[in-house]
C-alpha cells in the first residue's frame, strides 16, 4: 500500500469512528500531524481533532476549562452526542474549535508584545482559581535539574568531538545559576500566598499563540497547564524572546512590568539559565546525524552559547546595581 492509499485508509476509518462514537458526519479530514487532524462536518463546521495517550492529560484540561470562560483561552468542545472524549486507535480523542488564524512569530516585535500581553491577561483571569481535583504542580528547580541531567548525558558526545571545555562550562554555569536562584528565592515564591493559587500554561512557544483577521489573540494547547507561580511562564517566554532581540537585556526589560524587585530578580535569573539551549541540543542530537552535521551544529551551538554568556553577565550586573 502506498502512502496516499494508507492515508486515505486512516481517514476513512477515522470518519467512520467519529460517526459511530461521536455522532459526527465528516466530509473532510486533513492531517496536521498525527494524531492531530482538521475535520469538517456535513454542516460545514471545522474542528481540530486531537488524540492523547494519557487520559489524565485531557481530564485535567477539561476540569480547567470548566472553571474558565475567557475568549483568549481555546478549550475543548463536546462531541455532538455530548461526549467529552471518545476512545479508539489507542488514543483518547477530543475536539477543539478550529480558528482561522496565523501563529505568532517571535521574530516580530508586534508579536512578542502580543504574546506577553496575552500571558498577562491569562494570568490576571486565572489568578486565584481553585480546582482541588487538579493536583498537577510544577517545580521549576526540578525541571532545571532534569535538564542538567540531560546535559550530563551529552558529555560523551562533546568528548568525542573535542569540546569537553564547552560541556564543563555549561554544566558549571547551570549549577551556579540554580544555586544563585535558590539563594535569592527566600522566602520561596512557591510558598507565598500570592503565588499559591497561580496557574501556568506551561508551553509558551510562538505556535501556541494565534492571531485572527480581527487581531484577536488566542492561546491553544493547554497540555502542560499546572498549578505553579506565574513567574514560570514569563521565564520561559523571556528565554524564547532573547534570540530574536540579540540577547539585549534592556530590550527584554521593556516587556516586563507589574513585578516586585524580588520577583524581577528571580525572573531574570530564571531566563538566564540555559535550559532552552539544552532542550534544543537534546532535540537535535536525538535524531540520526552525520559526522559533518554534528560538527556544524556544535559550532552553531557554541556561538549561541557565547551570546548567552554575555547575557548572563549583563543580568548579574543589572541585579547587582538594582
What are 226-247's pLDDT values in tens digits? 999 999 999 999 999 999 999 9
Given a cut of 60, whether residue 1 has pLDDT beyond it is no
Query: Looking at residue 8, what is its pLDDT?
Result: 79
Query: Looking at residue 19, what is its pLDDT?
Result: 98
pLDDT tens digits for 112-166?
999 999 999 999 999 888 887 777 778 899 999 999 999 999 999 999 999 999 9
Given a cut of 70, whether residue 4 has pLDDT beyond it is no
Across 14-33, average pLDDT? 97
Query: Looking at residue 5, what is its pLDDT?
Result: 67
Query: Looking at residue 193, what is its pLDDT?
Result: 82
Given a cut of 90, whether residue 197 has pLDDT beyond it is no
Q: pLDDT grade, residue 91 (50/70/90)?
A: very high
Can you give the pTM of this predicted structure? 0.95
How large a percentage of the chain has pLDDT more than 90? Answer: 88
- The x, y and z cell numbers of residue 43, run together, are 454542516
Query: Looking at residue 135, what is its pLDDT?
Result: 73
Given a cut of 90, whether residue 319 has pLDDT beyond it is yes
**Domains recognised in the chain with CATH numbers:** 3-98 (3.30.200.20), 109-320 (3.90.1200.10)
Query: Looking at residue 134, what is its pLDDT?
Result: 79
Query: Looking at residue 2, what is its pLDDT?
Result: 58
> What distance in Å separates the CA atoms of residue 226 and residue 307, rounded to the nearest whole number?
32
Give residue 264's Cα distance to chain centre: 21
- Which of 226, 171, 231 lies closest to 202 in space, CA to CA? 226
> What distance in Å separates the CA atoms of residue 146 and residue 124, rounded to the nearest whole number?
30
Mean pLDDT over all residues of the chain?
95
Non-local CB neighbours of 98 within 8 Å, separated by 6+ positions: 38, 46, 47, 48
- Which of 143, 105, 155, 107 lies closest to 279 in space, CA to CA? 143
Across 263-269, average pLDDT? 97
Across 7-33, average pLDDT? 94
Number of other CB atoms surrounding residue 317 within 10 Å: 11
Query: Looking at residue 268, what is its pLDDT?
Result: 98
Given a cut of 80, whether residue 7 has pLDDT beyond it is no
Query: Looking at residue 303, what is its pLDDT?
Result: 97
Given a cut of 80, whether residue 76 has pLDDT beyond it is yes
Query: How many Å from the N-terminal Cα to the C-terminal Cα in the chain?
Result: 66
Given a cut of 60, whether residue 264 has pLDDT beyond it is yes
Amino acid at each position: 500500500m502506498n502512502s496516499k492509499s494508507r492515508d486515505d485508509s486512516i481517514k476513512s476509518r477515522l470518519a467512520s469512528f467519529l460517526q459511530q462514537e461521536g455522532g459526527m458526519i465528516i466530509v473532510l479530514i486533513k492531517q496536521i500531524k498525527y494524531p492531530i487532524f482538521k475535520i469538517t462536518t456535513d454542516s460545514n463546521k471545522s474542528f481540530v481533532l486531537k488524540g492523547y495517550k494519557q487520559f489524565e492529560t485531557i481530564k485535567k484540561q477539561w476540569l480547567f476549562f470548566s472553571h474558565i470562560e475567557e475568549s483568549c483561552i481555546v478549550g475543548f468542545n463536546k462531541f455532538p452526542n455530548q461526549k467529552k472524549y471518545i476512545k479508539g486507535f489507542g488514543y483518547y480523542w477530543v475536539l477543539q474549535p478550529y480558528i482561522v488564524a496565523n501563529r505568532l512569530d517571535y521574530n516580530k516585535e508586534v508579536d512578542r508584545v502580543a504574546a506577553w500581553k496575552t500571558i498577562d491577561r491569562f494570568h490576571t483571569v486565572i489568578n486565584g482559581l481553585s480546582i482541588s481535583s487538579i493536583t498537577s504542580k510544577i517545580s521549576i528547580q526540578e525541571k532545571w535539574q532534569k535538564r542538567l541531567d540531560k546535559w550530563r548525558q551529552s558529555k560523551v558526545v562533546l568528548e568525542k568531538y573535542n569540546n569537553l571545555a564547552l560541556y564543563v562550562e555549561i554544566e558549571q554555569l547551570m549549577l551556579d545559576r540554580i544555586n544563585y536562584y535558590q539563594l535569592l528565592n527566600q522566602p520561596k515564591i512557591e510558598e507565598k500566598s500570592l503565588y499559591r493559587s497561580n496557574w501556568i500554561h506551561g508551553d509558551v512557544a510562538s505556535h501556541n499563540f494565534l492571531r485572527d483577521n480581527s487581531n484577536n489573540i488566542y492561546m491553544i494547547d493547554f497540555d502542560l497547564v499546572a498549578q505553579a507561580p506565574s513567574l514560570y511562564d514569563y521565564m520561559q517566554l523571556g528565554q524564547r524572546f532573547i534570540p530574536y532581540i540579540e540577547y539585549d537585556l534592556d530590550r527584554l526589560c521593556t516587556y516586563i512590568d507589574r513585578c516586585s524587585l524580588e520577583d524581577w530578580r528571580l525572573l531574570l535569573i530564571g531566563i538566564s539559565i540555559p535550559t532552552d539551549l539544552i532542550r534544543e541540543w537534546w532535540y537535535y542530537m536525538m535524531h540520526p546525524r552525520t559526522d559533518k552535521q554534528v560538527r556544524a551544529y556544535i559550532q552553531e551551538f557554541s556561538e549561541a552559547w557565547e551570546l548567552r554568556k554575555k547575557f548572563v553577565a549583563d543580568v548579574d550586573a543589572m541585579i547587582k546595581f538594582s
